[in-house]
Amino acid sequence: MHIRGAAGSAVQDLLEGPSQRASVLGAGPRAIYLAVGRGTPQRVLAILTADAVRLPCAVVVNAPLPQPGPVATVGDGAVRWDRPACVTITAARYWPPARVRPAAPRALALRAAIDRADTGVADDLVRALGRRTAAAARALLGRGPGLTPAGDDVLAGFLLGARAYGLDAGPVRATVAATAGAATTALSAQLLRHALAGECVPEVLPALERGRPAALLRVGHTSGAALARGLLLAAELSERTAAA
Amino acid sequence: MPVEHVETRAGSYADSVTLMQVSTRVTAAAGVERAMVAMGTALNLDLLTGMGFALPPGTGPNDLVVAVRAEDEAALALALETVAGALAARPVTGSFATSPPRTVGAALRERDRAIALVSVPGPHAFAEAMDALDADTDVMIFSDNVPVEQEIRLKDVAAERGLLVLGPDCGTAVVAGIGLGFSHTLRPGPVGIVAASGTGAQQVLCLLDAAGVGVSAALGVGGRDLSAAVGARSTLAAMSALDSDPGTDLIVVISKPPAAAVAEAVRAHAATLGTPVRLALLGPGNPDLTAATEQVLTDLGVAVPDWPALPGRPPAGDGTALVGLFSGGTLCDEAMLIAADRLGPIASNIPLRPEDRTDPRAPWDGRHVMIDFGDDELTAGRPHPMIDPSLRTERLAAAGADPRTRVVLLDVVLGHGAHPDPAGELAPVIAALDGPAVVACVVGAERDPQDRRAQMRVLHEAGAHVFTSNAAAARYACDLIEAR
């Protein structure tokens, strides 16, 4: 079976580079997550259906996802596996991932919209991140039980907001860059690296630029709300900094 | 004696909420002292160690850890069954699925600028369109069969709120450079179109394209908008919208001739606008769509080109009749206006005069006839002939084999939404005819997906005379009838 997809340019080097072994981190009807190679930190490539939230590290295919085998290869132009059936997934084109641009913070609108949303993280930990210390970042990295722990989502939202609003994130950036690979799941660490580079899921942009988080809040069970909470923190801090 | 179970599962991902629910359910099970099911991130491993669990060496962040302490083996077995059941039963949507909005209004409220396209069966279109207007959004209604009183109500609400209603039965539009419905690949440019006629607008747009002139917008207002009942509500609003668009240098209004009072209202409104307005009203004594387009080009100071055309095979045999087989209603109307002037009455399912009405399914009596295959009567329960031309192709074969036929006149409409290769469908049938001549007008833009030049060439090679101006095609068909 040959499936043609459209891939984020963030994974172009993986797809077109030399072939590497990949292991399946997890799979569902809309997503297959592959950990590629043996490097540290480990890169993650997601294979997503068109209706899934578009992660920057994804190949989006317009077809039902095939069942992944235990072992796959990524590189030489394709994702391939031989069992349970022969599957080749190639990128017919590449799309640029959504990126944050400089924007004015909209704390009031964000606060009103995400007031009651469940973020999955205790609010004192989020407020502590406002001090922008390495300890506050470490307290959130990998916090939460799931695929992308909610603490990481808050950190990602904060990093994206700080970048867009021109806020100095202090030691938070360095801490995430240095320790995410070991402290949290491979997928979550991958998404944090994208956040450090200003790359995000497209649903972040209306929240960040216009204070409209409705689409973001529908992402995942709590992931979107946690990202929005991080954005709000960055917006509040940068408004306060501007006022001072 | 308490018993403890810790296992790690690689490749077993689940989202936060699911895992929290699993932990909660297992902890609540009878005989369970402590339990946690979580990914093995550093913080979670600390929590597990703090709860007194001994973790296997090498447990890492990509492992799912299941840790349970129960009061005895029986309770532990039950708890592990609960874990297995809960993980198996989890909705496998993954953490990054979204739930799509369920109403038009919900979909629109998070967007700054949008247009809603409503294409549900006519009786249900009103509610969806009103939902869009309530979300402060312009709406295009592709649906037909919307009751006229609902159309008026929607357009009144839109007027109160400074919004636009395109349609109902709006088959084509160009908004912000994006084609909606049946549409062409057009370049941006200075002409803004307001059209109560879908294929009429398509003809003008494609001729402008052939002359190298692009459009700022094309706003379809629905075939009834210039009726006495609707009173040009959307036409006037669309004219105002284009007047305030700095990218529009000239507004063209395309319609069949409206009621006198409505025509007067449109003219009066045009006089109040800063942007010049050219009316292209298709009717007896008025310029055809090609002539109207040529006036527009002259207004813009653009040279009128020779409209692309390719010659075909002359008619043979003793046939005398003109048979027009159309997929576009306005193109059929235009051809009838031209032919009636030269050849006398034309029978049709959409006749110019009621007495020329003919049943399109009845056997042909040998008169000049033009059928609109896009009329509701022939599209009930089947796709529009621009999408599925099979009914018309059958009729072409039948008319071509009938010795009474001298000329068959066709329109071939290209663009997004239309059949991917209409010329390829028609060519074998045309090539097989040995009596009548075939005259075809290809309505398409240079960069349409079907490749207009290639489509013209295929028809030409099959023996058809090929035009890009529907009026020129109709005149040429009349020439062939009169030359006998």
Q: Please tell me the distance in Å from B129's CA to the nearest CA on chain A.
A: 22
**Structure token digits, residue B375:** 């009329």
Q: Indicate whether A118 and A72 sit together in one domain.
A: no
Q: Which of A96, A116, A149 is the last residue of a domain?
A: A96
CA distance A144 to B9: 17
Quick one: which H or E segment has residue B130?
A: helix B122-134
Query: Which residue in this structure is represented by tokens 């913070």?
Result: A105
CB-count exposure of residue B64 (10 Å: 0-12, 13-18, 19+): buried
Query: Which residue in this structure is represented by tokens 């296997």?
Result: B56
CA distance B325 to A15: 52
- Up-side HSE of residue B434: CA atoms within 13 Å toward CB? 0
CATH fold match for the domains B104-300 and B309-482: yes
Helices (H), chain A: 12-16, 107-114, 123-129, 134-140, 150-165, 171-183, 186-196, 204-210, 214-217, 223-243
- B366 DSSP 8-state letter: S
pLDDT in tens, B362-403: 899 999 999 999 887 887 777 788 988 888 999 999 999 999
Counting residues of chain B whose pLDDT is more than 90, the rounded percentage is 63
Q: Where are the beta strands (DSSP E) in B176-214?
A: 178-181, 188-195
Q: Indicate whether A125 and A195 sit together in one domain.
A: yes
How far apart are the two ends of chain A, measured CA to CA in Å? 60
Superfamily in which the B309-482 domain is placed by CATH? Succinyl-CoA synthetase domains (3.40.50.261)
Query: Which residues in chain A have their CB less than 8 angstroms from residue B39's CB?
Result: 142, 145-147, 149, 185
Quote the distance between the C-alpha of residue B193 and its chain's center: 17
Helix/strand number for chain A, H first, E second: 10, 10
Please state, as a whole number, how many other Cβ atoms lie within 10 Å of the Cβ of residue B432: 12
A120 touches chain B (CB under 8 A): yes
Whole-Å CA distances, B263 to B187, B277, B335, B391: 30, 13, 23, 37
From chain B residues 319-378, the ones with a CB under 8 A of any chain A CB are none
B110 touches chain A (CB under 8 A): yes
Q: Indicate whether A186 and A66 sit together in one domain.
A: no
Contact yes or no for B61 and A222 at CB 8 A: no
Q: Which of A51, A66, A96 is the last residue of a domain?
A: A96
CA distance B483 to B32: 99
Q: Please tell me the distance in Å from B109's CA to the nearest CA on chain A.
A: 8
- Given this model, what pLDDT does residue B110 score? 63
Contact yes or no for B11 and A24 at CB 8 A: yes
Mapping DSSP onto H, E and C, the string for B328-339 reads: CHHHHHHHHHHH
Query: Which residues in chain A have their CB less than 8 angstroms from residue B111's CB?
Result: 206
Which among A147, A154, A218 is the top mutation candidate for probing chain B, defined by the most B β-carbons within 10 Å of its own β-carbon? A147
- Given this model, what pLDDT does residue B94 score? 45
Contact yes or no for B95 and A147 at CB 8 A: yes
Q: Indicate whether A126 and A49 sit together in one domain.
A: no
SS3 content of chain B, % helix, strand, coil (to 5): 40, 20, 40
Contact yes or no for A215 and B110 at CB 8 A: yes
Angle at A232 between CA B112 and CA B106, to 5 degrees: 35
Residue closest to B278 by CA, chosen among B269, B270, B286, B268: B270
Each residue's pLDDT, cut to its tens digit, for chain A (244 residues) gives 889 888 999 999 999 999 999 998 888 888 999 999 887 788 999 999 988 899 999 999 988 899 887 789 999 999 999 988 899 999 888 888 999 999 999 988 899 888 778 888 888 999 999 999 999 999 999 998 888 899 999 999 999 999 999 999 989 999 999 999 889 999 999 999 999 999 999 999 999 998 999 899 989 888 999 999 999 999 999 999 888 8
Please, are residues B152 and B233 in contact by the beta-carbon 8 Å criterion?
yes
β-strand partners of B64? B9, B39
Query: Which residues in chain A have their CB less than 8 angstroms from residue B23's CB?
Result: 145
ipTM above 0.90, yes or no: no
- Of the CATH numbers 3.30.70.360, 3.40.1440.60, 3.40.50.261, 3.90.950.10, which one belongs to the domain with range B104-300? 3.40.50.261
CA distance B391 to B413: 15
Q: Indicate whether A138 and A198 sit together in one domain.
A: yes
Please, are residues A11 and B74 in contact by the beta-carbon 8 Å criterion?
no
Contact yes or no for A144 and B16 at CB 8 A: yes
- Residues with Cβ within 8 Å of B294's Cβ and at least 6 positions away in sequence, in order, are B304
**Structure token digits, residue B177:** 């450079």
Q: Indicate whether A88 and A107 sit together in one domain.
A: no
For helices B422-431 and B452-461, what crossing angle results, to 10°? Answer: 10
For helices A150-165 and A223-243, what crossing angle results, to 10°? Answer: 40
**Structure token digits, residue A77:** 């132009």
Q: Indicate whether A31 and A59 sit together in one domain.
A: yes
- Residues with Cβ within 8 Å of A150's Cβ and at least 6 positions away in sequence, in order, are A119, A120, A121, A143, A144, A222, A223, A226, B16
Query: Which residue in this structure is represented by tokens 């997928």?
Result: A187
Residue closest to B204 by CA, chosen among B331, B301, B302, B299: B331
β-strand partners of A98? A200
Q: Indicate whether A153 and A207 sit together in one domain.
A: yes
Q: Indicate whether A104 and A79 sit together in one domain.
A: no
Quick one: which H or E segment has residue B432?
A: none
pLDDT in tens, A70-84: 789 999 999 999 988
CA distance A145 to B331: 65
Query: If you count residue pairs, one on A and one on B, with CB atoms under 8 Å apart, how many are there?
Result: 144
Contact yes or no for A183 and B41 at CB 8 A: yes
- Given this model, what pLDDT does residue B11 score? 67
Contact yes or no for A145 and B11 at CB 8 A: no
Q: Indicate whether A119 and A228 sit together in one domain.
A: yes
Contact yes or no for B62 and A186 at CB 8 A: yes
Q: Indicate whether A60 and A176 sit together in one domain.
A: no
pLDDT in tens, B397-416: 999 999 999 999 999 999 99
Q: Please tell me the distance in Å from B27's CA to the nearest CA on chain A.
A: 15
User: From A151, which residue of chain B is nearest by alpha-carbon distance?
Assistant: B43
Q: Indicate whether A106 and A225 sit together in one domain.
A: yes
Q: Which of A40, A73, A96 is the last residue of a domain?
A: A96
Please, are residues A47 and A69 in contact by the beta-carbon 8 Å criterion?
no
Residue extents of the structural domains in chain B: 3-89, 104-300, 309-482
- Of the CATH numbers 3.40.50, 3.30.390, 1.25.40, 3.30.70, which one belongs to the domain with range B3-89? 3.30.70
Please, are residues B142 and B119 in contact by the beta-carbon 8 Å criterion?
yes
Angle at A153 between CA A149 and CA A159, to 5 degrees: 140
Please, are residues B143 and B376 in contact by the beta-carbon 8 Å criterion?
no
Total tally of structural domains belonging to chain A: 2
Contact yes or no for B95 and A185 at CB 8 A: no
- Given this model, what pLDDT does residue B93 score? 45
CA distance B95 to B92: 9
Query: Which residues in chain B have their CB less than 8 angstroms from residue A51's CB?
Result: 97-98, 100
List, for chain B, all residue ranges whose pLDDT scores fall below the cut of 50. Answer: 90-95
Residue range(s) defining the domain that contains residue A23: 2-96
- Given this model, what pLDDT does residue B92 score? 45
Query: Which residue in this structure is represented by tokens 């006198």?
Result: B260
From chain A residues 32-71, the ones with a CB under 8 A of any chain B CB are 33, 35, 48, 51-53, 55, 70
